[in-house]
Structure 1
Amino acid sequence: MHSTPTPSAILVAHGSPADPVPQQAWMQALAVRVRFWLGPGWQVRGTTLAMPGALEAAVAALPGALIYPFFMAEGFFTRRQLPKRLAEAGVSAPRQLPAFGHDPGMPALLARVVRDAGLTDGATVVLAAHGSQVSRASATITEEMAEHLRRDTGMTVRTGYVEEDPFLQDAARGIAGPSLCLPFFATRAGHVAEDVPAALAEAGFTGKLLPAIGEHADAARLIAAALQRA
């Protein structure tokens, strides 16, 4: 009688090369929360590309695991860097899922976060994202989510980026009435902790700054659902 293979998954984020330990620990904690939603029988590890040897150790511990990219966009890191690193670790044909930002439950999560913030009709949401001078991947998914937010909440939604036009400090400037800024980021790394608040301060933005969407309690539930579907 053959035993059923234990389902497993590895959650992979970018991390911070300058200070890899905090983000590595955060991903390990996220793995615990995801495993809670998956229930018994699953093995889940969280890691980053930035932590030396961590991805390789996770792959060695969970061969054949589903690979879940904890990134907001399908771009360079999910399509080239992560597969390259996995191949170097001996995974020739990884079962890699779509990035977190492309999850089909993301529009509903964003809308719920905005509504839970208590904004009234006529309020403005600034959706802050990474952006890029060389790729449209981040802007494409961000603009898609902004359109969902407009349709689902009926609120005014502006998009602003850290690394491309329209820059966040410009998008957040001159807003009258109730407002908030929602960072469309996976983790609270340098951009969310430093660049986003600095841009909002430069703009004179007086609305509320929410945590990164990847920090929301329901992020783990979305990931677990994606892993179960796979």
Structure 2
Amino acid sequence: MTSAILIAHGSPADPEPQERAMQALAARVRLWLPGWQIRGTTLALPGALEAATKALPDALIYPFFMAEGFFTRRQLPKRLAAAGMKSPHQLPAFGHDPELPALLARTARAAAQTHGLPEAQTTLLLAAHGSQVSRASATITEQMAEALRQATRFHVVTGYVEEDPLLHHAAQILGPALCLPFFATRAGHVAQDVPQALAEANFPGPLLPAIGEHPQVAPLIAAALTRATTHVFSGPSFSV
């Protein structure tokens, strides 16, 4: 099996930009997997998922989501079945990739060095979505935060857009700080809600791009797809 569909939630209010972003991500992943057919799409743009599954009916499904929750376990399988895919092979969500903690650590360290911030004296704020109805987002975020505490010298804290500790409270930090958004795409939360919360809190440090925008995400996805084709599955690991 050498085809895959990368699927993100997208933005229902303005679906086209995220659809283009997923297509661009698919193109970058193809650079690491010569000979593969890879498409990127979203759930938000009407007809887009159906077009992708029609073009690649036997594709691996890669959920470009941060948590295994309602959308990956219920909504996405339902949409795939409605599109005619029978028993698709769906990989774990991006946020559960075993290589993601290491990428987070490298990203934070590089940013601290760029901005002249001493790691041991810097607070790393991991900003995430959260939810009032599900613990999925908070659970994986807190696991990532603990992995970063074990692997780095940052003082790591978490803040959420939709649950406590709310981001504008968590961001009230004195001293050197960085904010790293634990999001897959640059949609409304990353583009608007996160910067607004940091401004409200007078956050003292830089806001980094969402981790899903990192250039090393494409090879990370390519490696996950390769593991899937060779049936090498090691459950989520948080070692760095």
TM-score range for the pair, normalised by the shorter chain length: over 0.9
Which of 86, 93, 103 is 1:92 aligned to? 86
**Which residue identity lines up with residue 136 of structure 1 in the other structure?**
R
Q: Secondary structure at the match of 2:71?
A: helix
Between the two proteins, the alignment pairs up a number of residues equal to 223
Aligned residue in 2 for 1:63: 57
The answer to whether the 8 A contact 2:126-2:179 is kept is: yes
Quick one: which amino acid aligns to residue 154 of structure 1?
R
Matching of residues 36-75 of structure 1 within 5 Å: 36-38=31-33, 40-75=34-69
Work out whether 1:116 is the aligned partner of 2:110.
yes
Q: Aligned letter for 1:148?
A: A
Aligned partners of 2:175 and 2:204 also within 8 Å: no
Q: 1:20 aligns with which of 12, 15, 25?
A: 15
Amino acid at match of 1:204: N
- Report the alpha carbon displacement of residue 37 of structure 1 after superposing the two structures with TM: 1.1
Distance 1:9 1:192 in 2: 26
Matched, 1:194 2:192: yes
Match of 1:229 in 2: 227
Indicate conservation of the 8 Å contact 2:8/2:63, yes or no: yes
Aligned counterpart in structure 2 of residue 216 of structure 1, from 214, 217, 223: 214
Q: Which amino acid aligns with 2:176?
A: P
User: 1:209 aligns to what SS in structure 2?
Assistant: coil
Instruction: Give the superposition deviation at 1:94.
Output: 1.0
Structure 1 length-normalised TM: 0.96
Look up the match of 1:144.
143
Structure 1 residue 129 and structure 2 residue 128: aligned? yes
CA distance in 2, matches of 1:37, 1:165: 39
Query: How big is the shift at 1:92?
Result: 2.3
Counterpart amino acid of 2:40?
Answer: G
Q: Residues of 2 paired with 1:205 and 1:122: CA distance?
A: 16
Q: Tell whether the 8 Å contact from 2:174 to 2:204 is kept in structure 1 after alignment.
A: no
Q: Which amino acid aligns with 1:100?
A: F
Q: Is the 8 A contact 2:4 2:56 kept in 1?
A: yes
Aligned counterparts of 1:41 and 1:25: Cα–Cα separation in 2: 22
Is the 8 Å Cα contact of residues 124 and 154 (structure 2) preserved in structure 1?
yes
Kindly state the Cα deviation for residue 178 of structure 1 after the two structures are TM-superposed.
1.2
In structure 2, C-alpha distance between the alignment counterparts of 1:99 and 1:199, rounded to whole Å: 27
Distance 2:201 2:150 in 1: 26
**SS of the residue aligned with 1:18?**
coil
TM-score (norm 2): 0.92
- 3-state SS of 1:96 partner: coil
Gaps of 5+ in 2: 229-240
Mapped to 1, the partners of 2:90 and 2:219 lie a distance apart of: 18
Q: 2:67 touches 2:95 (CA, 8 Å); kept in 1? A: yes
Identity of aligned residues (%): 75
Unaligned stretches of 5+ residues in structure 1: 1-5
How far is the alpha carbon of 1:122 from its aligned partner?
A: 1.3
